[in-house]
Structure 1
Amino acid sequence: MGTFEGWPVGIDARPIDKADAGAWAELLAAKEKVDQEGENYDADDLVEELSDPKLDAEKDTIGLWADGTMVGYGAVRWRANVIDVDRVGTEGTVHPEWRGRGLGAALLPWIIRRAGEVHAERHPEVDGEVNTGAISTNLGAHDLLTSHGFEECRYFFHMQRTFDAPVPEVTVPEGLKVVAYDPAYDRRLMDAHNEAFMDHWGSTPKDQETWKVWFTGSRAFRGDVCRLVVDGDKIVAYALGYEYVADTEATGIREIYIGQVGTLRSHRGRGLARLALAELLTESQRTGYQRASLGVDADNPTGALGLYERLGFTQVSKTISYRLPLN
């Protein structure tokens, strides 16, 4: 698949493979310098992403090349399970030095078209939409997306806290205990996560394959700092942490990213998410992390934003989620 139609003169468009991971990482590093989204990737991160069994790189990715340099890319990702709407996740960017030359205007229709094909292939029984996101300060992305019919639909805050201030002490309720992650808990943890996030926008039940790739099987997962609250043999709350080596290399700060925090509905209102998170923060500080970060839905139904603020997190940026209905 060496050629695609409709690209500006001098641009070669082809699927991304693992041999392209280094060039892809260089493109994302250039993007981060300008867009300041707080996300850094190395080649190994991207090889891992291309290893996702639910990503058909030949069909679902495209790299744009000029004189041997990757100057843009797009990717489309499907989900095994849907609840109400098939929200097809998409991503893409154009190298800052190549913006304003029509690459984004050519790339976005490819993404929309492929997302529509994925929806028709995987979940035609429900309504579908293309989902993508961009940091709120990226006005160029906003203009491009809205000009193609996308609308803002959700807002997410990226929050951070250092360990200069002490982590609040939290008491473990009688009858419960806090434990570190152990692989023996893995299936129960996935089930707890699926139950806890049933009422969260955009969340869908994770199957074991997805769970292993993106959650506890990720190279960034740090089970030693993760904390689970258990009631007998049942996980009722949890906080999971990840460390991205590329972020540390780019910032010089060792950061624990809190990817998931959840509590079963049956145990909400007892401060268990706060307990799991405080225990994770305490262990992270003890083991040498300098900062913690997380992302939160501004309209999270469980009041997570207030919880994080009370634990010392402050907002550093906002990401906008955009949607385009698929007919």
Structure 2
Amino acid sequence: MIPPESRFESDPEELLPSDPSLPEGWSVDTVDPASVADVERLTELLRGHETAGRGYPSAGTDDVLLEISDLGTRTRANVVVRDPEGAIQAWGSVHDRAAGRMLFVHVVARGLLHTDAARCARVLFAWADGQAREVGAARGLDVQQIDTGAFADDPRQHAWLGAAGYERVRAWWQMTRPVDADESGLVPDPERWEKNGVVFRAVGRAGDGMPADADLRAVHQVLEGAFTDHFNSREETFAEFVHRLRQDPGHRWDHWWLAEIVDGEGGDAEPAGALVATESESEDGPSGSYVDYLGVLSNARGRGVAKGLLTTVIADAALRGRDRVGLEVDADSPTGADGLYTSMGWTTSYMTQSWHRDVPVADV
């Protein structure tokens, strides 16, 4: 279950030395989600970070609120560094994602002097180490992993991560595919269609209009099973999984699909694959769809399950008037899964990296 209270330390000063070695007059502080100025400044910082790393921004207010709002406080914590005028110049956010895996967002203003920016970065890294020890101890672990990311074209971030003891462990292709309106006919109906004994369907709805619990659990079980041997896979409970996905600003219940194998007339439907997508809004054009998860159980591979689910989400995007479908691919995977995506029209827009640090958990 989702913890009723956060596993994190709410007071940053408890995790940092009395003198954090910031420029004179600068201070470490918490974030006020009710402060319009704080939310706007964090959005500005995040967009600047994206622009420096890949050439354009996409983050909005909803992305910031996901990290700092009261809804997220059970599984997230935040810290900021303010200059003498009170303006936020650096922001750190941690997410208790799953047992043994803590995500870390690390953003420092791009206009700062190099020395000031580096001092802010060191404070954020020290704070993240402290939070790793806190959440690791609460989960009864000996070692807590910190998992953070960087754009492939962001040497400043790479230098800081390396100096703080992080190791680059993976690269990811961020891919996109254009969608044409006539592709709405790629499948008979994205709600439900069948091919070669495989049924592709949206998760069912209960009497109150909410998704059927059994279908949601089937999606979770398929994804847990499909990713067991994948890079950095960590077991996530059903409650954690649903809670986390519902927090995403682009979450839509009607973007969840199951693939089921039905062999023989009257046979039982066996879940074999699942796809969970979100809506990604654009500032100056149509929205797109984004594939958050695509998983196929090993005993169902070779039956066109992945291709069928991808075709379904393309057709669904076309029906909704969207102009693209995005997804992320493990560039270091030996499976060659990217071949399917490129054959279906996906191309790489930019690359990101995963960096990890293992923090020993002592008594806190």
Show the counterpart of 2:223.
193
Show the counterpart of 2:271.
235
CA contact (8 A) 2:186 2:315 kept: no
Query: Pick from 14, 25, 35: which aligns with 1:10?
Result: 25
Structure 1: gaps of 5 or more residues: none
Query: Which residue identity is paired with 1:177?
Result: V
Deviation at 1:63, TM superposition (A): 1.2
Show the counterpart of 1:175.
197
Show the counterpart of 2:340.
307
Structure 2: gaps of 5 or more residues: 1-10, 188-192, 205-210, 262-267
Alignment deviations for residues 172-229 of structure 1 (CA, whole Å, 9 cap, x no partner): 4433211123311212211221111111112222223322232256441234344321
The correspondence of residues 50-129 of structure 1 with structure 2, limited to 5 A, is 50=68, 51-52=71-72, 54-57=74-77, 61-66=78-83, 67-81=85-99, 86-98=100-112, 100=114, 101=116, 102-125=119-142, 127-129=143-145
CA contact (8 A) 2:54 2:350 kept: no
Show the counterpart of 1:139.
155
Q: Secondary structure at the match of 2:127?
A: helix
Structure 1 residues 187 and 49, CA gap change in structure 2 (3 angstroms): farther
CA contact (8 A) 2:101 2:234 kept: no
Does residue 130 (structure 1) correspond to residue 134 (structure 2)? The answer is no
User: Structure 2 CA distance, aligned partners of 1:236 and 1:38?
Assistant: 38
CA contact (8 A) 1:188 1:234 kept: no
Does residue 41 (structure 1) correspond to residue 74 (structure 2)? The answer is no
Q: Secondary structure at the match of 1:16?
A: coil
Deviation at 1:162, TM superposition (A): 0.9
Structure 1 residues 28 and 79, CA gap change in structure 2 (3 angstroms): closer
Structure 1 residues 111 and 165, CA gap change in structure 2 (3 angstroms): same
User: Structure 2 CA distance, aligned partners of 1:213 and 1:119?
Assistant: 20
Calculate the TM-score normalised by the size of structure 2: 0.78
Deviation at 1:134, TM superposition (A): 0.2
* Rg larger for: 2
CA contact (8 A) 1:239 1:276 kept: yes
Q: Secondary structure at the match of 1:270?
A: coil
Calculate the TM-score normalised by the size of structure 1: 0.86
Structure 1 residues 258 and 309, CA gap change in structure 2 (3 angstroms): same
- Name the stretch that deviates more: 274-283 or 116-125: 116-125
Query: Which residue identity is paired with 1:176?
Result: V
CA contact (8 A) 2:173 2:329 kept: yes
Structure 1 residues 25 and 217, CA gap change in structure 2 (3 angstroms): closer
Query: Which residue identity is paired with 1:75?
Result: S
User: Structure 1 CA distance, aligned partners of 2:259 and 2:291?
Assistant: 16
Deviation at 1:302, TM superposition (A): 4.6
CA contact (8 A) 1:133 1:319 kept: yes
Identity %: 26
Show the counterpart of 2:7.
none
- Name the stretch that deviates more: 139-148 or 210-219: 210-219
Structure 1 residues 300 and 270, CA gap change in structure 2 (3 angstroms): farther
Does residue 256 (structure 1) correspond to residue 256 (structure 2)? The answer is no
Does residue 265 (structure 1) correspond to residue 284 (structure 2)? The answer is no
Report the RMSD for the aligned CA atoms in angstroms: 2.7
Deviation at 1:294, TM superposition (A): 0.8
Q: How many residues align?
A: 316
Deviation at 1:93, TM superposition (A): 0.8
Show the counterpart of 2:244.
214
User: Structure 1 CA distance, aligned partners of 2:216 and 2:55?
Assistant: 31
Q: Secondary structure at the match of 1:98?
A: coil
CA contact (8 A) 1:162 1:291 kept: yes
Deviation at 1:73, TM superposition (A): 0.7
User: Structure 1 CA distance, aligned partners of 2:109 and 2:180?
Assistant: 37
